[in-house]
Amino acid sequence: MEFVHKPVLLNETIDCLNIRPDGIYVDGTVGGAGHASVVCSRLSAQGRFIGLDQDEDAIRTASQRLKPYGDKVTILRDNYSNMVSDIRKLGITGVDGILLDLGVSSYQLDTAGRGFTYREPAPLDMRMDQRQQKTARDIVNGYSESELFRVIREYGEERFAKNIARHIVQARENKPIETTDELNAVIKEAIPAKARMTGGHPSKRTYQAIRIELNHELEILEQSLDGMIDLLNPKGRLCVITFHSLEDRIVKNNFKRNEHPCTCPPDFPVCTCGKKPRGTIITKKPIVPQEQELKENSRSKSSKLRVFEKI
């Protein structure tokens, strides 16, 4: 199956990156190169593009799609948490724009064997990097009831987390839970029939929670944003597309802290902490998809774009 991922908020993101033809741009989640190919098309021979992804299929696809742009493109298989060191290794000291399109790609969701989707029977996998040993199956069968409850409640914001955790532990006493349809059956059993009638598929929040835990998505995001802002040249921009409230909150709070880092009490006449603003938030409110995009791509529904510009 071909790696197809319809890029969300494409025009808005490209506009917000403020692309300079001779600039250096990084996509930390290059995926199927949807955003990347437009960025590359705006670059002159002096421009440079670096794309990172931890997914082997994404690397193969992006390399193929960006081939026409020749030497100005570098594709690296790595997690964006290593972006700063990867860029430094290339001899680059600063970049003019960075893009992160978080979450799961359409390709990963639609390739049943990857185990990201609750809509198809498949082994419980959910690894974004297939070199990783641990899978979703290990979490479902190995975590204690209290650990499962924490993950499902915190990362899935699931109100029936306690019940789901208890049902998982009870079910696996008979035999390990190996597949998506087995897990779906357990979750369905744990959620009252009335509640299952609203709010989409009953497994949605639990799958999100397990995926975030397995791939350390929130910790990586939290730990990476400051380094990315460091990497930007003056007037360089960091554009981040999120798909759920947990990611969005991390980005929003980070951008706020970098715009107003002063920790002095509000009644201090002069700042004594010495912490200086590192840039400006360009998007006072996040940019969300227009009606046309929502019609064409239902998966764009929860997406939000936030943009920070370095001083």
pLDDT of 5 reads 56
Longest dimension (CA), the chain: 66
Q: pLDDT tens digit string along 193-246?
A: 999 988 889 999 999 999 999 999 999 999 999 999 999 999 999 999 999 999
Where are the strands (E) in 122-203, listed by range? none
pLDDT of 307 reads 99
pLDDT of 108 reads 86
pLDDT of 4 reads 55
Rounded distance between C-alpha atoms, residue 32 and residue 62, angstroms:
5
Name the strand (E) or helix (H) holding 204. Answer: helix 204-215
Q: pLDDT tens digit string along 165-195?
A: 999 999 999 999 999 999 999 999 999 999 9
Q: How many residues does the chain have?
A: 311
Could you give the domains of the chain?
10-107+217-310 (3.40.50.150), 124-215 (1.10.150.170)
Rounded distance between C-alpha atoms, residue 198 and residue 181, angstroms:
20
DSSP 97-116: EEEEE-S--HHHHH-GGG--
**Please, what sign has the CA dihedral across residues 142, 147, 150, 154?**
negative
pLDDT of 109 reads 84
pLDDT of 2 reads 53
Spans in the chain with pLDDT lower than 70:
1-5
Structure token digits, residue 211: 């995926």
Stated pTM of the model: 0.95
Answer whether 251's CB lies under 8 Å from 223's CB: no
> Partners of 240 in the beta sheet?
100, 306
Q: Residue 81: helix, strand or coil by DSSP?
A: helix
